[in-house]
Chain A
Amino acid sequence: MKILGYRIPAAASLLIWGVLWEIVGRSGTVFILPPLSDVLSALVELVERSSFQTAALETLESFAIGMTVAIIGGVALGFLMGRNAAANNVLGMWVNIMASAPLSSLVPVLMLLFGLGQLTIVVTVILFSIWIIALDTYAGVRHISTSLDEMAKSFSASSWQLLTKVLFWAALPEILAGIRIGLIRAVKGIVIGQLLISVVALGRLFRTFSDNFQFENFWALTLILFVFALGFSSVLGWLEHKVEYYAGSRI
């Protein structure tokens, strides 16, 4: 973006929104929206609290476990569907349905099934992200040129070599894109899930803050989640960019 010949970094728009937030907050017209400066000071205070730290760690741990399972399961599912027509016939429709289903409505059911603990969060993360990872991996696998496949076979590659030395790397750009989208969905899943359950980890804090009209803390927590999701997504975006050059040169 250029204004009057000066290059303005894209992040500058954040500043404008921040100023706007501060003004609206100070005017006091919207009572659930305190000024940004108050939210930021609440944020600093919040991250120092041990209740927050335990809750955040608990959430992060469930998140990491869930994402690991989702990535391994989703990539395996995508490869199975991409390389095996019968598997695709059986699974394809269901994976597509699950990827577009309103999964948040399932969260209360999960709570009944898995109780009010970390397991529910883990299952929520898996459920929200695995399908899109599988679909993107599938797209990546279908995209691999047949001549790469034939090349490996012409040198008598074993199925395992074909998978680990050729197919996985050839599908990697799509797999990473799937993981990035899956991760963002998982963050949503966690927020929705924990808000609905509201008894474990960060969800309980959210509930406490909104029930007690502690809007500074509520917004601070929201900001933290935003930064968290954005940070993860940027790291994956950067990784994707690293492999992009060969995504484009595939024939």
Chain B
Amino acid sequence: MSLATDMTDTVKTPGAIDGGNVVEVRNVTKFYDGDIHALDSVDLGFPAGQMTTLLGPSGCGKTTMLKIIAGLLEPTSGEIFVNGKQVTGPGPERAFVFQDFALLPWATVLRNVAFGLELRGDSKAEREEIGRHYIAEVGLSGFEQKYPHELSGGMRQRVGLARALAVNADVLLMDEPFSAVDEQTRRKFQEDLLHLLSAEKKSVIFVTHSIEEAVYVSDQIVLLSPRPGRIHSTIRPDIDRGISPDDIRRDKNYLDTVETIWQDLRKYLD
């Protein structure tokens, strides 16, 4: 069984979006403070409408990669293309979901969810309508007037997700969104996320250090090697998304993929 394929064939000529890649990373290298080599000439394509996961041991630069794509960090060299256009900073076609939620503690759920729209200058009525819609989408109806400290960790991240969905970006960038959420909540959240995304038709770039999570949610998994981060391999789990979540977790392909990745990653542990 050969799940790993060589990534080099996805490098495209500049300016083009062949193969329907919504985001392209070209030859990106990142040094921190001049000497920490976080990423080393990474070339990567993210297919439109799909969920791609960046997976790797801590210190492999996966969050760095995500923040460079988001425009929150500048690469030392290299280029980022979104929808075929080069970007050098944040933009409305991308929305970020933060590991620690990054909610405004002094604002209600409704204002938090609509905060991207508020910054964009939408009218109050308009943004509250959109806000309420996405609060319902993530299953938080009735909590519009609550404050973040009144919610559980899982609910706070649902607010973070609704805020990212509300601006109607093409690409969702999710930085370990479930790592601060307990295990039961995390499973339910993963299921809801897949369900929601299949309806919203978003492209998602997802960072995680959990192999099971990566295999469960992804169409494509990019394995990164530790510092300096390079692409180790790309895997497309062959899992039938039509079956129930519990069946997926018992599916042979699911379990084999988890095992293969584990065998690949364990050599970095020593």
Tell yes or no: A100 within 8 A of B by CB. no
A contact residues around B102 at 8 Å (CB): 145, 147-148, 150-151
A137 to chain B, nearest CB (A): 17
Q: How many residues of B contact A (CB 8 A)?
A: 28
Q: Which of A148, A155, A170 has the most CB of B within 10 A?
A: A155
A14 to chain B, nearest CB (A): 35
B contact residues around A154 at 8 Å (CB): 70-72, 90, 94-96
Assess A151 versus B105: contact at CB under 8 Å? Given A156-B92, A161-B119, A165-B119: no
Contact with B along A133-156 (1 / 0, CB 8 A): 000000000000101101111111
- CB atoms of A169 and B104 under 8 A apart: yes
- CB atoms of B106 and A150 under 8 A apart: no
Give the residue name and chain of the B residue nearest to A247 (CB).
B105
A220 to chain B, nearest CB (A): 42
A65 to chain B, nearest CB (A): 30
A242 to chain B, nearest CB (A): 10
Assess A251 versus B119: contact at CB under 8 Å? Given A153-B90, A154-B70: no
B contact residues around A166 at 8 Å (CB): 104
- CB atoms of A243 and B106 under 8 A apart: yes
Assess A155 versus B99: contact at CB under 8 Å? Given A243-B106, A245-B149, A246-B149: no
- CB atoms of A165 and B118 under 8 A apart: yes
B200 to chain A, nearest CB (A): 18
Give the residue name and chain of the B residue nearest to A150 (CB).
B72
Complex CA distance for A82 and B100, rounded to whole angstroms: 22
- CB atoms of A155 and B149 under 8 A apart: no
A contact residues around B46 at 8 Å (CB): none
Q: Of B94, B105, B115, which is within 8 A of A250 by CB? A: B105
B contact residues around A98 at 8 Å (CB): none
Q: Summarize A's interface: helix, strand, loop or mixed.
A: helix
Tell yes or no: A84 within 8 A of B by CB. no
Interface residues on A, range: 20 to 34
Tell yes or no: A69 within 8 A of B by CB. no
Q: Of A147, A245, A248, A250, which is within 8 A of B99 by CB? A: A147
The A101-127 residues at the B interface (CB cut-off 8 A) are none
Q: Of B67, B105, B106, B119, which is within 8 A of A156 by CB? A: B119
Complex CA distance for A243 and B101, rounded to whole angstroms: 20
- CB atoms of A145 and B100 under 8 A apart: yes
A contact residues around B94 at 8 Å (CB): 154
- CB atoms of A155 and B98 under 8 A apart: no
Tell yes or no: B91 within 8 A of A by CB. yes
- CB atoms of A156 and B96 under 8 A apart: no
Assess A148 versus B72: contact at CB under 8 Å? Given A156-B91, A156-B119, A157-B119: no
Give the residue name and chain of the B residue nearest to A157 (CB).
B119
A contact residues around B92 at 8 Å (CB): 156
5 A-B pairs with least C-beta separation: A246-B105, A151-B102, A147-B102, A154-B96, A155-B116
